[in-house]
Amino acid sequence: MKYLLFSLTLLVFTSCDKILYEDGVPPRGYDTKDFALSSFDRVELNNAFFVTIVKSTESKVSAKGSGDDIDDLEVTVTNGKLDIRYDKRIRIKQLKRYKMELVVYTPNITEIDAKSASDTEISGFGTFNSFIASVSGASTLRLNNTVKSLTANISGASKIRLPLKVENIDAEISGASTLDGFDANSTEVFLELSGASKAEVSASKTLSVKASGASKVFYKGEPKITEDLSGGSKVSKE
């Protein structure tokens, strides 16, 4: 009977993936570890990591966090895509995680898929001809580079910030998510919003908006505007 109860308890924890995240310093302090990797230009983040992605001649990941958490990291490259996550095989110690800081070094990056409350900043790559960003699950991305063409999918109360110029933006925004793009000084912007989402953009030539579910678009500039609005959604000049 005791074995059965333990098994059922373990099943509940496994199926719910119930993990507590602690803001404090780990009991034994912080450990660090470097992961040497083969080359990659795409990144997928699958947990509540604090990530900085920087341009480098190397391809590696430097981790700073609890030693137990670092031991549980899975850092792999498959077909040019870096995947960072925790080992999903449940153990008692995995029910508590501490802040994990990651620095990703790579010569180039073309795409990011950031999930599960991750917080990511990309810097130092100059100008991207094109970039693809998918941000979900209450995650945040700050793209500190100029971009000629950005394709973005933002969902689940997530946010993308664009502090530098992005010439063309094509974005789908859903689930109370946000695009912060006033400083991007764009030429053409194409937006599809739903679920009380919000976009702030600057466009000089074209602004195309399809919005539903009380979503809002605020814009700067004098673009030609095409809009398809429903469910109390609005497009307003800032």
pLDDT digit string (tens) for the chain, length 238 residues:
444 333 433 333 333 445 666 677 888 889 999 999 999 999 999 999 999 999 999 999 999 999 999 999 999 999 999 999 998 775 555 568 899 999 999 999 999 999 999 999 999 999 999 999 999 999 999 999 999 999 999 999 999 999 999 999 999 999 999 999 999 999 999 999 999 999 999 999 999 999 999 999 999 999 999 999 999 999 999 9
pTM for this one? 0.89
Q: How far apart are CA 87 and CA 156, in angstroms?
A: 23
Q: Find, among 171, 166, 125, the residue nearest to 149 by Cα.
A: 166
Q: Could you tell me which CATH class the domain 110-238 is placed in?
A: mainly beta
Q: How far apart are CA 11 and CA 3, in angstroms?
A: 12
Are 19-104 and 110-238 the same fold in CATH?
yes
Q: Could you say which of 2.60.120.380, 3.30.300.30, 2.160.20.120, 3.40.50.300 is the CATH number of the domain covering 19-104?
A: 2.160.20.120
The domain locations on the chain are: 19-104, 110-238
Q: How far apart are CA 234 and CA 3, in angstroms?
A: 58
